[in-house]
Amino acid sequence: MLIPHPLLGPRDAQEFVYLGDAALIDRPDGTAAGIEAFHDYLYLRDNPAGQHRELWYHEQGDRSWLVVTRDTVTHEILKAELARDVALARGRGR
Amino acid sequence: MRYSIWNVLAQGLTGHRGWKPVWRDPAPQADYDIVIVGGGGHGLATAYYLAREFGARRIAVLEKGWLGGGNVGRNTTIIRSNYLLPGNEPFYEFSMKLWEGLEQELNYNAMVSQRGIINLFHTDAQRDAFVRRGNAMILHGADAELLDREGVRRLYPFLDFDNARFPIKGALMQRRGGTARHDAVAWGYARAADALGVDLIQNCEVTGMRIEAGRIRGLETTRGRIGARKVGVAVAGWSSRVMAMAGLRLPIESHVLQAFVTEGLKPFIDGVMTFGAGHFYVSQSDKGGLVFGGDIDGYNSYAQRGNLPVIEDVAEGGMALIPALGRARLLRSWGGVMDMSMDGSPIIDRTPVEGLYLNAGWCYGGFKATPASGFCFAHLIARDAPHPTAAAYRLDRFRRGLMIDEKGQGATPNLH
Ligand SMILES: Cc1cc2nc3c(=O)[nH]c(=O)nc-3n(C[C@H](O)[C@H](O)[C@H](O)COP(=O)(O)OP(=O)(O)OC[C@H]3O[C@@H](n4cnc5c(N)ncnc54)[C@H](O)[C@@H]3O)c2cc1C
Q: Where are the beta strands (DSSP E) in B24-93?
A: 31-37, 59-62, 78-79
Distance (Å) from CA B187 to ligand 1 centroid = 14
Closest in B298, B301, B309 to A72, CB measured: B301
Q: Is A35 exposed, middle or buried (0-12, 13-18, 19+ CB in 10 A)?
A: exposed
pLDDT at B19: 94
Count A/B contacts: CB-CB distance under 8 Å: 65
* Position in ligand 1 atom list of the atom nearest CA B204: 43
Residues of chain A contacting residue B64, judged by C-beta atoms under 8 Å apart: none
Q: How far is CA B338 from CA B9, B23, B264, B345, in A?
A: 42, 28, 27, 12
**In angstroms, rounded to a whole number, what is the distance separating the alpha carbons of residues B125 and B121?**
9
In chain A, whose CA is at the least distance from the CA of B254? Answer: A47
pLDDT digits (tens, 9 = 90+) for B213-237: 999 999 999 999 999 999 999 999 9
Nearest to A41 by CA among A27, A55, A56: A27
Is B302–A40 a contact, with Cβ atoms under 8 angstroms apart?
Answer: no
The alpha-helical segments, DSSP class H, found in A1-94 are 35-43, 83-89
Residues of chain A contacting residue B303, judged by C-beta atoms under 8 Å apart: 72-75
Does B288 contact ligand 1 (Cβ within 6 A)? no
The mean pLDDT of B59-87, rounded to a whole number, is 97
The answer on pLDDT for B87 being more than 90 is yes
A11 touches chain B (CB under 8 A): no
**In angstroms, rounded to a whole number, what is the distance separating the alpha carbons of residues B71 and A14?**
26
**In angstroms, rounded to a whole number, what is the distance separating the alpha carbons of residues A39 and B398?**
7
- Looking at chain A, the whole-number percentage of residues with pLDDT higher than 70 is 99
CB proximity list for B4: less than 8 A, separation 6 or greater: none
Distance (Å) from CA B42 to ligand 1 centroid = 8
Does B71 contact ligand 1 (Cβ within 6 A)? yes
pLDDT at A94: 55
Nearest to B382 by CA among B40, B90, B59: B59
Does B235 contact ligand 1 (Cβ within 6 A)? yes
Does B42 contact ligand 1 (Cβ within 6 A)? yes
Long-range pairs, B209-216, Cβ under 8 A, ≥24: B209/B245, B209/B246, B209/B353, B209/B356, B211/B246, B211/B353, B211/B356, B214/B352, B214/B353, B214/B354, B215/B353, B215/B354, B215/B355, B216/B246, B216/B353, B216/B354, B216/B355, B216/B356
DSSP 8-state code for residue B47:
H
The residues on B that touch A, with CB distances below 8 Å, are 240-241, 249-254, 298-303, 307, 309, 342, 398-399, 411-414
In chain A, whose CA is at the least distance from the CA of B400? Answer: A39
Domain layout of chain A by residue ranges: 2-89
Summary mean pLDDT of chain B: 97
Distance (Å) from CA B401 to ligand 1 centroid = 27
The pTM of this model reads 0.97
Residues of chain B contacting residue A75, judged by C-beta atoms under 8 Å apart: 301, 303, 307
Long-range pairs, A48-54, Cβ under 8 A, ≥24: A48/A72, A48/B240, A49/A73, A49/B241, A49/B254, A49/B302, A51/A78, A52/A21, A52/B300, A53/A21, A53/A22, A53/A23, A54/A18, A54/A19, A54/A20, A54/A21, A54/A22, A54/B299, A54/B300
The mean pLDDT of B42-67, rounded to a whole number, is 98
Nearest residue by C-alpha to atom 48 in ligand 1: B70
Does B38 contact ligand 1 (Cβ within 6 A)? yes
Helix (H) or strand (E) holding B43: helix B41-53
The answer on pLDDT for B209 being more than 70 is yes
The answer on pLDDT for A30 being more than 90 is no
pLDDT at A92: 86
The answer on pLDDT for B292 being more than 90 is yes
Domain layout of chain B by residue ranges: 22-81+83-108+182-251+343-395+405-415
Closest in A44, A70, A73 to B250, CB measured: A44
CB B334 within 8 A of CB B259: yes
HEC states along B348-369?
EEECCCECEEEEECCCCCCCCC
CB proximity list for A7: less than 8 A, separation 6 or greater: A62, A64, A82
Looking at 3.50.50.60, 3.30.200.20, 3.40.50.970, 2.40.160.10, the CATH number of the domain B22-81+83-108+182-251+343-395+405-415 comes to: 3.50.50.60
Is A1–B307 a contact, with Cβ atoms under 8 angstroms apart?
Answer: yes
Q: Sorting pLDDT into bands at 50, 70 and 90, what band is B5?
A: very high
Q: Is B347 left (phi over 0), alpha (psi -120 to 50) or beta?
A: beta
Mutate to test the interface with B, among A18, A39, A47 (most CBs of B within 10 A): A47
pLDDT digits (tens, 9 = 90+) for B96-111: 999 999 999 999 999 9
Strand B347-350 relative to strand B281-284, pairing:
unpaired
Residues of chain B contacting residue A20, judged by C-beta atoms under 8 Å apart: 253, 300, 412-414
* Position in ligand 1 atom list of the atom nearest CA B221: 42
Q: Does domain A2-89 have CATH number 3.30.2270.10?
A: yes
The mean pLDDT of A70-74, rounded to a whole number, is 98
Sheet holding A65-71, edge to edge: A17-21, A51-57, A65-71, A77-82
Is B303–A47 a contact, with Cβ atoms under 8 angstroms apart?
Answer: no
Q: Sorting pLDDT into bands at 50, 70 and 90, what band is B1?
A: confident
The answer on pLDDT for B370 being more than 60 is yes
The answer on pLDDT for B27 being more than 60 is yes
